[in-house]
Structure 1
Amino acid sequence: MPAADHYDAIILGAGGAGLMCALSAGQRGRRVLVIDHADAPGKKILISGGGRCNFTNIHTAPDRYLSANPHFAKSALGRYAPQDFIDLVEKHRIAWHEKTLGQLFCDGSAKQIVRMLLDECEGGGVEIRLSAPITDVTHADGVFTIAHGGRTATAPALVIATGGPSIPKLGATGFAYDLARRFGLKVVEPRPALVPLTLGGEEALFRTLSGVATEVVASAGKAAFREAALFTHRGLSGPAILQISSYWKNGESIAIDFLPDAPAGWLAAAKRARPRAHLRAALAERLPDRLAETLADRLALPGELANQRDAALAEVERRLATWRFTPNGSEGFAKAEVTVGGIATAGLSSQTMAARHLPGLHAIGEAVDVTGWLGGYNFQWAWASGWAAGQAI
């Protein structure tokens, strides 16, 4: 094997967090090497937001992230804000727009964001090696040695930026966790997040509604999200379900409010306005026909509304506002946009993303136990944590 190349810092992973870390360290005069086993950088960036990259969210705040330590993200997010990334985007004359709920997208293509990051890396003299699978990582005498693709590189600083196991078809693995454990960092059990949920048993009949969508409030525990829910041939999806999936745990139920805008007593009012109507017809005025039919069948309210006591109608309203599903699982890491869990924050500095017990070792991005809501929050964590580590190495 040829002699090792020496750098100030080696970053494992050429995704959003890794590239941000590299450009911010490189532009500080550090000699930086980025290594990735993939054949192209930023693959997850390229598929995000339907190919337009939902690159940040203007409503970013620490309470929109899940972590065993809910305070951990505050420092990095506070020092590299959405406006900082917007400034970078505008510097590169990339046109963008706000969609809904503070989500920012490129007008054109996600390729522009990857190109921007690569151009910034080039400006900092960063070297990027692709199609370079890592075969060994060792540490001795304050130096990390990385064997990769038949070559060797050394540096006093090593940054783990290889993400989590979500979307394995893009090459995602649990490599970050294995490496973290090898160097004495603990790992919070990872699970799929921002993922469709599956239904079985008696609830399987809702799968016949595949393709039907409606705005709901989905809740699990104290978390609640108002957005669209979509019935699929396997269960439940859509933004509201993806959001709540991050908070859902196997065996638990989720609650759906199918009529978040309906005032109390609306069914009793419908009875007085249209006494001969059936429940299905009353529901069809507020919900898609197929969903109204299925819910009416399950509620099994016999006959015309005129025949129902107001108390019975109030109970129907309550059930529609707190309809419980107990998913039998999720569609797993294959369909999960991100991962909940990861390298435990207890072993890391929130300011530098460095391992407390091993100087020079850092972990950033999705590899760490910080997971954002749907809608650009995870990219903002990638930029902020990458920038924080890049300022420290």
Structure 2
Amino acid sequence: MKKEGVEQCETASLQTYDVIILGAGAAGMMCAIAAGRRGRRVLVIDHAKAPGEKIRISGGGRCNFTNIHAGPKNYLSNNPHFARSALARYTPADFIAMVDSHGIAWHEKTLGQLFCDVSAKDIIRMLTDEMKAAGVALRLGVSVDAVEKTAAGFEVVTSEGKIRAESLVVATGGKSIPKMGATGLAYRLAEQFGLAVTETRPGLVPLTLDPALLSELSDLSGVAVDAEVRHGRTAFREALLLTHRGLSGPSILQISSYWREGDEIAVAVEPAIDFAALLKTAKRENGRQAVQTVLAQYLPKRLAQYWTEKHGLTRPLADLPDKALEALGQSLKDWRIKPAGSEGYRTAEVTLGGIDTDHLDQKTMAAKAVQGLYFVGECVDVTGWLGGYNFQWAWASGYVAGLAA
């Protein structure tokens, strides 16, 4: 009897909420705001010492907080239609309205990318202020030791004791950037409750090269050039950067989400320029010029030198047949590279794959087979392109879950 009395006392002293949200990142905080506004008693917990750590470092410290073009076509998933509902119910315009209501100055860069004028911390402050206004409790530096399903909802065992809630939202992110605290907790919880997890791998990540090719390109480290990078039918045209490890820059990060080990990528250097035509014209007008001299008018000098020497075209233009110039021009439009791998989760901006969307309700992000359980943000098998798309998924998925949890 004594033991039963202790258990009853312990149960009565447990802190109880309507909604517990694991993770104080973009999706978790947005979910908390939406749920709190409905009058739900919400607790957000995170093992980090500060909320929104990935927000803080994003966009070079200015947070590329959304993209005005965000739509289902900008996301990778085993179910390409899954993201449609959430993205339609919470749009870039909705988030911009919140940003504007807080007087945060922003600007548009290329391709619809929106950034804060001053600091990513403005977005974090906005979200924490909105949570406070919605009556949301936030606890930081709290780790999760276990989660159990109960008749009334969920019991979460933390480093500060047990907490209970009717609904549990998992917003702990994926595996990318482990130094920021990524743990893979969401996948473990999904498997615990019988939800499948699709293959996960690093996305939006620099690609590495084998030692031989890396040595060949070593003098080009630091060179950047406009390029269209292709993998199969997918192509992105943005800057490409050659590094001491391999390839980086926006075009490479984009294509990395589609590339798989063993595949080639095709690079068109300065795709708007017809190098073959330029070289043949230069040959007619001043045949004493070197190929490198002409190329260096349109390419970084080191790249022009590399390309000339690679093709053995070191004689004056007048001494070179047009076919050789055409072949060089074509090689700049179809430079085939087989990356050796990627830099992995250490530098990946996102995690590809995740909680199988077949197990989630696309309108609410709820687990179909587990009452009161929700998964939002990066841990779900929905991954956006580079350029604000992943934040928009975080806002949208968090919002719709907050309306239901």
Q: Secondary structure at the match of 2:288?
A: coil
Greater CA deviation, 268-277 or 61-70? 268-277
1:76 aligns with 2:55: no
Where does 1:47-58 land on structure 2 (aligned, <5 Å)?
Answer: 47-58=57-68
% of aligned pairs identical? 57
Please, what TM-score do these two structures have when normalized by structure 2? Answer: 0.94
Contact 1:199 1:207 in 2 (8 A): no
Q: Distance in 2 between matches of 1:295 and 1:355?
A: 54
Where does 1:19-168 land on structure 2 (aligned, <5 Å)?
Answer: 19-168=29-178
Q: Distance in 1 between matches of 2:99 and 2:257?
A: 29
Q: Secondary structure at the match of 1:8?
A: strand
Where does 1:102-251 land on structure 2 (aligned, <5 Å)?
Answer: 102-204=112-214, 205-251=216-262
C-alpha deviation, 1:352, in angstroms: 0.5
Q: Distance in 1 between matches of 2:377 and 2:220?
A: 37
Give per-residue Cα distances to partners, 1:132-186, cap 9 Å, x unaligned. 1000101132511101113111112111100011111111111111111111111
Q: Distance in 1 between matches of 2:385 and 2:283?
A: 40
Give per-residue Cα distances to partners, 1:208-233, cap 9 Å, x unaligned. 21111111111112111111111111
1:382 aligns with 2:397: no
Contact 2:203 2:350 in 1 (8 A): yes
Match of 1:11 in 2: 21
Greater CA deviation, 178-187 or 300-309? 300-309
Q: Distance in 2 between matches of 1:210 and 1:63?
A: 33
Q: Distance in 1 between matches of 2:73 and 2:95?
A: 20
Greater CA deviation, 370-379 or 196-205? 196-205
Match of 2:268 among 246, 257, 271: 257
User: For the aligned residues, what is the CA RMSD?
Assistant: 1.4
Aligned residues: 393
Contact 2:20 2:169 in 1 (8 A): yes
Q: Distance in 2 between matches of 1:201 and 1:150?
A: 49
Q: Secondary structure at the match of 2:111?
A: coil
Give per-residue Cα distances to partners, 1:31-89, cap 9 Å, x unaligned. 11111111111000001111111111111111111111111111100110001000000
Structure number, greater radius of gyration: 2
Q: Secondary structure at the match of 1:9?
A: strand
Q: One-letter code of the match for 2:67?
A: N
Q: Distance in 1 between matches of 2:376 and 2:109?
A: 27
Contact 1:207 1:235 in 2 (8 A): no
Moved over 4 A (4+): none
Contact 1:67 1:370 in 2 (8 A): yes
Greater CA deviation, 320-329 or 310-319? 310-319
Q: Distance in 1 between matches of 2:105 and 2:135?
A: 26
Match of 2:327 in 1: 315
C-alpha deviation, 1:302, in angstroms: 5.1
Q: One-letter code of the match for 1:282?
A: V
Q: Distance in 2 between matches of 1:293 and 1:188?
A: 45
Contact 2:225 2:270 in 1 (8 A): no
Contact 2:202 2:350 in 1 (8 A): yes
Q: Distance in 1 between matches of 2:268 and 2:285?
A: 24
Match of 1:326 among 338, 346, 351: 338
C-alpha deviation, 1:299, in angstroms: 1.9
Q: Distance in 2 between matches of 1:176 and 1:299?
A: 51
Give per-residue Cα distances to partners, 1:227-251, cap 9 Å, x unaligned. 1111111111111111111111111
Please, what TM-score do these two structures have when normalized by structure 1? Answer: 0.97
Q: Distance in 2 between matches of 1:143 and 1:75?
A: 26
Contact 2:308 2:314 in 1 (8 A): no
Q: Secondary structure at the match of 1:233?
A: coil
Q: Distance in 2 between matches of 1:362 and 1:274?
A: 69
Contact 1:52 1:105 in 2 (8 A): yes
Where does 1:333-372 land on structure 2 (aligned, <5 Å)?
Answer: 333-372=345-384
Q: Distance in 1 between matches of 2:118 and 2:65?
A: 12
C-alpha deviation, 1:269, in angstroms: 2.3
Distance 1:380 1:304, change over 3 A: same
Query: Unmatched 5+ residue regions in structure 2?
Result: 1-9
C-alpha deviation, 1:315, in angstroms: 1.9
Q: Secondary structure at the match of 2:110?
A: coil
Distance 1:207 1:196, change over 3 A: farther
Q: Distance in 2 between matches of 1:344 and 1:300?
A: 52
Query: Unmatched 5+ residue regions in structure 1?
Result: none
Contact 2:46 2:139 in 1 (8 A): yes
Match of 1:280 in 2: 292
C-alpha deviation, 1:347, in angstroms: 0.9
Q: One-letter code of the match for 2:308?
A: A
Contact 2:58 2:64 in 1 (8 A): yes
Q: Distance in 1 between matches of 2:368 and 2:124?
A: 31
Contact 1:203 1:325 in 2 (8 A): no
C-alpha deviation, 1:265, in angstroms: 3.0
Q: Distance in 2 between matches of 1:331 and 1:274?
A: 45
Q: Distance in 2 between matches of 1:351 and 1:220?
A: 32
